[in-house]
Amino acid sequence: MSISRREMLLAGAAALGSALVVPTAGAAPSRPGLPGADYTPVVTPNGASLPWRIVDGVKVFHLVAEEVWHEFAPGLSATCWGYNGRVHGPTIEAVEGDRIRIYVTNRLPAATSVHWHGVLLPNGMDGVAGLNQRAIAPGETFMYEYDVRQHGTFMYHSHHDEMVQMGMGLMGMMVFHPRRLAPRVDRDYVLLLSQWRVDVGTSRPDPNEMIDFNILTLNARSFPGTDALLARRGEKVRIRIGNLSAMHHHPIHFHGHFLTVTATDGGPIPASAQFPETTVLVPVGTTRDVEFVADNPGDWALHCHMTHHVMNQMGHGLPNLIGANVDGLNQAVRPLLPGYMTMGDTGMADHGEHLEHGHMPAPANSIAMRGAPGPFGYVAMGGMFTLVKIREELPPDGADPGWYDHPAGTVAAPADEAAMRRDGVEV
């Protein structure tokens, strides 16, 4: 984000111990944190950070709740509810000790509020409509203001008619950076996990769903619509993961490396209590900070390990056809349903390929249950799945480097018959 000349002068004066930055009444004197000076801004794949300005020593933000036409992946979009033209809302960043002021304008057809999930603040700023404040009526703007008393990874979301409003997308992430100097990572990513029900052919999420969610997302995107996370070899990477799904916890699994959980939304975990693992469980309503050293080049999968959470628009009312003899069924049904194709007798991995190559028509506003073309064939994954791309060097403009170029002899391939005989393998 660009910083105005006035903000830079304020920052410089504060750094010299000047009293030019005057906090509002009741605010603890502090220098508002500036990117590059106090912290390295986080990266929200498929998203953005919320712009801010400094007014009399207070960091000021503006959230606008509104309807948003949102793309989950190419071919699947819906009318959702979000903030500032985004689903999910932009990431809010501040520094421990900052005084922050957040204006919330409601352009929705219903009343709303915003709860700052996990944040320590005055009771009247907690955002539970009816309990801590009056709901924000359509057309109104409310102001929240408080001192940032902690550092870590947090979330924000509607706390009025939550089933509907969160189910429509009203949520986002918050990152409060530490005031004191702390070991920095080379890359700092933010991921928000959520789940939706978008029936094939429809154009709005169904917030009444309680069990059969069919769209699982990272930052409101499903694979193959998810941006890859990039790193150079040897860099230290942090991924901040929040889960505001309606009903499900998510075991997030990372290939080729181990993760260390360094913090929860309750605060940092002492180094003596940290331990390595390759799958971190992120329960509903929590955040987890994980770190790893990107020391293994390649295109590595990062995904939820619940198998139905790496699929798109999968229905639960389908008959089990595994092992069934479906010979002749297509021909028998096509006079009634032109273009009919029986699937599932050997699994669902080919569903995306059939759509990709035009072997069967796709319903309006829908995507393949699984995946996208990859460097070795079709990637039979979808939903809460993305890639971490680690390279010796990355494009200077930060663009996706494309598929990994494997060194000779490092890719699994059909076995050589002579080698099989040598090793006593009989098939």
One domain for residues 246 and 287: yes
- The CA-atom distances, in angstroms, between 216 and each of 173, 184, 225, 300 are 17, 31, 12, 19
- Residue 243: CB atoms within 10 A of its CB come to 23
One domain for residues 303 and 393: yes
Choose one of 183, 216, 247: the last residue of a domain.
183
Contact, 157 vs 115, CB < 8 A?
Answer: yes
- Is 368 inside any structural domain? no
Q: Quick one: pLDDT at residue 370?
A: 63
- Is 366 inside any structural domain? no
Q: Which two tokens stand for residue 34?
A: 């500036």
Choose one of 131, 150, 183: the last residue of a domain.
183
Contact, 74 vs 57, CB < 8 A?
Answer: no
Portion of the chain with pLDDT greater than 70, in percent: 83
Q: Quick one: pLDDT at residue 334?
A: 76
One domain for residues 389 and 277: yes
**DSSP-derived pairing of the beta strands 385-391 and 298-304:** antiparallel
Q: Quick one: pLDDT at residue 318?
A: 61
Our count of domains for the chain comes to 2
- Residue 234: CB atoms within 10 A of its CB come to 12
Choose one of 148, 168, 183: the last residue of a domain.
183
One domain for residues 170 and 207: no
Provide the whole-model pTM: 0.84
Cα(349)–Cα(72) distance, integer angstroms: 21
- Is 395 inside any structural domain? yes
Phi, psi of 95 (to 5 degrees): -125, 140
One domain for residues 32 and 108: yes
Q: Quick one: pLDDT at residue 40?
A: 85
Cα(388)–Cα(291) distance, integer angstroms: 13
Q: Quick one: pLDDT at residue 29?
A: 39
One domain for residues 17 and 120: yes
One domain for residues 175 and 230: no
Give the residue carrying structure tokens 């089990």.
Answer: 320
- The CA-atom distances, in angstroms, between 278 and each of 176, 250, 311 are 26, 13, 21
Domain range for 48 is 5-183
Strand (E) or helix (H) holding 373: strand 372-374
One domain for residues 275 and 399: yes
- Is 326 inside any structural domain? no
- Is 394 inside any structural domain? yes
Give the residue carrying structure tokens 């500032």.
Answer: 84
Q: Rounded to an integer, what is the distance from CA 395 to the centroid of its chain?
A: 23
Cα(75)–Cα(362) distance, integer angstroms: 10
- Is 412 inside any structural domain? no
User: Which CATH number is 16's domain given?
Assistant: 2.60.40.420
One domain for residues 24 and 157: yes
- Is 341 inside any structural domain? no
Q: Quick one: pLDDT at residue 369?
A: 67
Q: ∠ CA 136-138-142 to the nearest 5 degrees? A: 35
Q: Quick one: pLDDT at residue 27?
A: 34
One domain for residues 176 and 282: no
Task: Tell me the CB-side half-sphere exposure of residue 231, using CA atoms within 13 A.
Answer: 26
- Is 419 inside any structural domain? no
Q: Quick one: pLDDT at residue 20?
A: 26
One domain for residues 157 and 69: yes
Strand (E) or helix (H) holding 351: helix 351-356
Q: Which residues of the chain have pLDDT under 50?
A: 1-30, 354-355, 357
One domain for residues 35 and 169: yes
Q: Quick one: pLDDT at residue 344?
A: 60
End-to-end CA distance of the chain: 60
